[in-house]
Amino acid sequence: GAQAGFGRPAPLPQTGWERVSELWRRDEQQQFPEETVNIAKSAFTAGVVGWLYGGLPAFVNARKAFIESSHGEIFQNRADAVQSAHRAGLRSFIRYGWRWSWRVAAFATVFNVVSTGLSVYRNKTTISNFAAAGAFTGALFRMHLGLQGLVGGVMFGTAFGIPAGGLLMAMYGLAGETLQEKRSRERRELYEQKLAEWQSRLSMTEILGQTESNAQGRPEMESAREL
């Protein structure tokens, strides 16, 4: 423990793979990097959006279809009829909402993992990273349809990735720096701080060691004088 506390701080990652591996590693506060947290947040948000996108129209259509097909049915009262229509719509909301939810969440997760990994590996954020991430994600989701589906997925993914990347780049421009630039700056500042603290402790240790050596040398000199 003492050796770890007084050891020289670990140098900053130099290669792309070292930077990528840091995405899945907790820091000293047991927290994941901001990029990783954003991937999880975007997956959750995409899941909610997908559920609403697929569930709400299904709810409306199922409720409407139930009303149109139940004219000949007998209900206890008006409230019972309304509740039956709502239950039919709710079943469709859950069924079709879930279908869209996991697909949109999976697409957003793969896209963000690839685009973030490319940005971290290359140590820069560009539109080409998002275009490549979109092409890869689109191809992955359409490859089961054969060559034609694969090509269509690449085209769709690229068409999605470029404007999405442009929007994110515009947001980064308003913020003054990209997420990768922010992380590099914070990581460099933290390393410099740790290095300064280590050098300060090292200097203090040398001073204490020299003082202790002088204190031990004085009794020997006094004994020599007495002789």
On whether residue 12 sits in a domain, the answer given is no
Whether residues 201 and 102 share a domain: the answer is no
- Tokens representing 155 are 């085209």
User: Tens digits of per-residue pLDDT, 163-210?
Assistant: 988 888 888 778 777 777 777 787 788 878 888 888 887 777 767 666
Q: How far apart are CA 198 and CA 134, in angstroms?
A: 44
Q: Is residue 171 part of a domain?
A: yes
Same domain, 146 and 214: no
Number of domain units in the chain: 2
Q: Dump pLDDT digits (tens) for 107-146.
A: 999 999 999 999 889 888 889 999 999 999 999 999 888 8
The residue ranges of DSSP E strands in the chain, in sequence order, are none
- CA end-to-end span of the chain, whole Å? 45
Give the domain extent around 49: 35-176
Q: Is residue 137 part of a domain?
A: yes
- The answer for residues whose C-beta is within 8 angstroms of residue 176's C-beta and 6 or more apart is none
Residue 222 in domain: yes
80/151 same-domain check: yes
